[in-house]
A and B are shown apart, each in its own frame.
Chain A
Amino acid sequence: MSVATHDHSDEHDAHGPEKGLMRWIRTTNHKDIGTLYLLFALVMLFVGGLMALVIRAELFQPGIQFVNPDFFNQMTTMHALIMVFGMIMPAFAGFANWMIPMMIGAPDMALPRMNNWSFWLLPFAGAMLLATLLMPGGGPASGWTLYPPLSLQAGDGFPFTIFSIHLLGISSIMASINIIVTILNMRAPGMTLMKMPMFVWTWLVTAYLLIGAMPVLAGGVTMLLTDQFFGTSFFQAAGGGDPVLFQHIFWFFGHPEVYIIILPAFGIVSQIIPTFSRKRLFGYDSMVYATASIGFLSYIVWAHHMFTVGMPLAGELFFMMTTMLIAVPTAVKVFNWISTMWRGSLTFETPMLFAIGFLFMFSIGGFTGLMMAIVPLDFQYHDTYFIVAHFHYVLVPGALFAALGGAYYWLPKWTGHMYDETLGKWHFWLSTIFVNLLFFPQHFLGLAGMPRRIPDYATQFTDWNLVSSIGAFGFGFAQLLFVWIVVQCARGGQKATSQVWDHPEGLEWTVPSPAPYHTFEEAPLVK
């Protein structure tokens, strides 16, 4: 580095944000990038949600009323891809960007320019994915799992889908590298690993999962691409390939992906519950160990997604048992959260409501998960609405509720204003009622015999589908309330103190609200 550069950076030490659009395009500030991630996720929530409503409208009653079966399949596929890669993962990356440096007393992320790039890949990747809907042959229609040979029966959009998954993967990998380097190198003096807030811990494990899993997905979809365009036969039986190989590759990525989504949610809930219980997180050490063991186990359970492909008995037994083992650290977490509340002084502000909703409804998803781990039962549940109900319980009142709770929890820190508590509570209760109306009946549909991914159904499935669709529209519209609350909070409202809540723990509450553009330029000393 030349001296001139050094002078240059001195000049910049006290700078504020650039003005106008260029601030957001060129920003290397972790708070700006966090905001961008969160806003992108919010937009994608509605894009993916709209697709869900197309699905639920079509399933409102038997017969085909609105969309053709092929477009229906495009909707289920795109809904999943958008929600997983475009909504929930960027949402948690947004939390990571905003909160990790502030929680560990670092001035910014370790690799700020890469940070900018990992965000700005997303809108382009997302736009390219959405653009496939307008191409001849339409968007991907083989389910988000992209199983060949079906996924190879695709239109012109196919390579664009693959390329967009590549870009989303690169973005995630860069974000993960950034998070790991930041956490391992930029902690304030005294912030030992075992003193880090749980949210930071869960993201550290998540980042390692991402680095392990995303390249595997990239490899798998690249093999799809060469099968389609370059004459290879990785997955084509006619050329000596193996269609089941793709399923192994996909789920070797796909199962860690499940925990990539849920671990940061665990982290956020572990921040919220102690604050509103006015009591320290119970069993911090065992929470860390549970997180790490969930991370490890997530790599050795993948084949439980494919019990019906015809595995050897020994394989079925192995994957059944490893899967059941995951219930142990997960149960530990739930018990620890309840113990955190035990003999605390609870209040029920909106973030706490979402965290409690998470506890109840994530547990329901956990129970059905345990049921599906049992291979003979999975033979009946597999690919029915029972699994749809299961993973939506884990993802919506699970991961999404945690993200919403986290947004309410830190909004005052981000904006400097309190959000409207009454509206927040309305948002919570409407979401909770409708999300259960939406997903609980799907358990019944699956058990009664309705397969997933069908645009039309036999008449005995009408009633619960009708209830579920009503729930879907209610839940969708309830989220508009959230947008209104966020806009209102960003524009004004009661001034937030630097602590915001009643003596919360953590470095982020020692800086003013809104958090200044640069925080912890001098590292705080953690005792």
Chain B
Amino acid sequence: MRIAMLLGSRLGVELMLSLGKSALRALAAAAGLFAYAHAHADWATNLPRGVTEISSRIYDLHMLVLGIVTVIGVLVFAVLTYALIAFRKKPGVASATWDHSNLAEFIWTVIPFFVMVGLAIPAAQALILIEDTSGSELTVKITGYQWKWQYEYVGKNYSFYSTLGRESNVARQKNSGRDPYAVDNYLLEVDRPLVLPAGVKIRYLITSNDVNHAWWVPDFGVKRDAIPGYMNEGWFQVDRPGTYRGQCAELCGKDHGFMPIVVEVIPESEFDAWLRQQVTG
């Protein structure tokens, strides 16, 4: 009996251990699979918060407005769904005969109006921030071409072109036989990224040399059209060094999808050295 119990508990422990191990293995495998799926494609569903004051203001406003329309949507759809269920045709129940109510109509004209006014206020505040280009320390001129970008450090006597990375360019050809997944940052890589200093308010001027383009970096919350004959401006300040990617956002011809934007943000001290080296070297 004792032996049996001992055996039993040993077996139990072993069983638990092995179960635990395989559970852990399964968990690890699942995590691995998840990580794999995540690395390959992340089913992303929302705006990034981004890395600039502008982008996080936009993100907060986006979440606020999304929240408000979701609440309104849920309420309206709930009422609608209730009506669909509750007022199905039933024998012996006749439809109501009323066909208007001034009070109700007044209320649901006025409420949306005030919701709109309520939304317009934070929107206007964010907009005023976005359009305030004063106090910038560095000006970069961006010029759109079919199908590349030119970046000029205004007053620093330095400019260059930035085009789609070579590997992406090979893989994107029709029936190239290359697996886009095998290319790092497929379609989001360039030969020469725009290099900018961290923690500095950067003013950009933007124009085009041929057709309309638009310079868009989601993480910066910046999208501005490049239009021939126009010099648009805006600003952003990135505090966290890193590599940020974007794309042309205005249809500009056959290779519209193939003129990405890559911005390399580096510490200010490194930037000064980098720029000096580019200008002299």
**Using Cβ atoms and an 8 Å threshold, which residues of chain A touch B15?**
none
Contact check, B251 vs A453: say whether CB atoms are below 8 A apart. Answer: yes
Do A343 and B44 form a contact, CB below 8 Å, given A149-B210, A383-B214?
Answer: no
Question: Contact residue range for chain B?
Answer: 35 or more
Which of A153, A280, A360 touches B211 (beta carbons < 8 Å)? A153
Contact check, A345 vs B257: say whether CB atoms are below 8 A apart. Answer: no
8 residue pairs of the A-B complex, CB under 8 angstroms, read: A69-B258, A282-B99, A341-B80, A341-B87, A343-B95, A363-B73, A377-B62, A460-B41
A308 within 8 A of B: yes
**Using Cβ atoms and an 8 Å threshold, which residues of chain B touch A335?**
104-105, 108
**Using Cβ atoms and an 8 Å threshold, which residues of chain A touch B257?**
69, 451, 453-457
**Using Cβ atoms and an 8 Å threshold, which residues of chain B touch A448?**
44-48
**Using Cβ atoms and an 8 Å threshold, which residues of chain A touch B252?**
150
A377 to B40, CA, bound (A): 28
Contact check, B105 vs A341: say whether CB atoms are below 8 A apart. Answer: no
Task: List residues of chain A with CB under 8 Å of any chain B CB.
Answer: 62-65, 67-70, 73, 141-143, 147, 149-150, 153, 237-238, 241-244, 277-286, 308-310, 313, 316-317, 320-321, 324-325, 327-328, 331-332, 334-336, 338-339, 341-347, 356, 359-360, 363-364, 367-368, 370-371, 374-377, 379-380, 382-384, 443-444, 447-449, 451-464
B176 within 8 A of A: yes
**Using Cβ atoms and an 8 Å threshold, which residues of chain B touch A68?**
174, 254
**Using Cβ atoms and an 8 Å threshold, which residues of chain A touch B192?**
none
A324 to B124, CA, bound (A): 13
**Using Cβ atoms and an 8 Å threshold, which residues of chain B touch A332?**
105, 108-109, 112
A25 → chain B, closest Cβ, in Å? 40
**Using Cβ atoms and an 8 Å threshold, which residues of chain B touch A149?**
210-212, 228
B127 → chain A, closest Cβ, in Å? 5
B116 → chain A, closest Cβ, in Å? 4
Contact check, A377 vs B249: say whether CB atoms are below 8 A apart. Answer: no
Which of B73, B99, B116, B178 touches A364 (beta carbons < 8 Å)? B73
Contact check, A150 vs B176: say whether CB atoms are below 8 A apart. Answer: no
B167 → chain A, closest Cβ, in Å? 13
**Using Cβ atoms and an 8 Å threshold, which residues of chain A touch B279?**
none
Which of A63, A70, A282, A460 touches B172 (beta carbons < 8 Å)? A63
**Using Cβ atoms and an 8 Å threshold, which residues of chain A touch B222?**
379
Contact check, A345 vs B229: say whether CB atoms are below 8 A apart. Answer: no
Do A374 and B65 form a contact, CB below 8 Å, given A63-B171, A283-B105?
Answer: yes
Which of A241, A327, A338, A451 touches B249 (beta carbons < 8 Å)? A451
**Using Cβ atoms and an 8 Å threshold, which residues of chain A touch B83?**
338, 341-342, 346
**Using Cβ atoms and an 8 Å threshold, which residues of chain A touch B186?**
62, 458-459
A292 to B134, CA, bound (A): 43
Which of A284, A338, A383 touches B250 (beta carbons < 8 Å)? A383
Look across to chain B and name the residue whose beta carbon is closest to the beta carbon of A76: B251
Contact check, A374 vs B119: say whether CB atoms are below 8 A apart. Answer: yes
Look across to chain A and name the residue whose beta carbon is closest to the beta carbon of B57: A376
B253 within 8 A of A: yes
B177 → chain A, closest Cβ, in Å? 9
Contact check, A150 vs B58: say whether CB atoms are below 8 A apart. Answer: no
Look across to chain B and name the residue whose beta carbon is closest to the beta carbon of A277: B95
A371 to B185, CA, bound (A): 30
Do A338 and B89 form a contact, CB below 8 Å, given A284-B99, A313-B128, A456-B172?
Answer: no
Contact check, A143 vs B41: say whether CB atoms are below 8 A apart. Answer: no
The 4 nearest A-B residue pairs measured at CB: A237-B229, A454-B257, A310-B232, A448-B44
* Those of B84-102 within 8 Å (CB) of chain A: 84, 87-90, 93-97, 99-101
B279 → chain A, closest Cβ, in Å? 30
**Using Cβ atoms and an 8 Å threshold, which residues of chain B touch A244?**
227, 230
Look across to chain B and name the residue whose beta carbon is closest to the beta carbon of A367: B69
Do A451 and B216 form a contact, CB below 8 Å, given A343-B96, A345-B93, A382-B249?
Answer: yes
* Those of B113-127 within 8 Å (CB) of chain A: 113, 116, 119-120, 123-124, 126-127
**Using Cβ atoms and an 8 Å threshold, which residues of chain B touch A277?**
87, 95
Contact check, B58 vs A377: say whether CB atoms are below 8 A apart. Answer: yes
Look across to chain A and name the residue whose beta carbon is closest to the beta carbon of B247: A451
Which of B65, B76, B228 touches A377 (beta carbons < 8 Å)? B65
Contact check, A347 vs B180: say whether CB atoms are below 8 A apart. Answer: no
Which of A243, A346, A371 touches B62 (beta carbons < 8 Å)? A371
B173 within 8 A of A: yes
B267 within 8 A of A: no
**Using Cβ atoms and an 8 Å threshold, which residues of chain A touch B58?**
376-377, 379-380
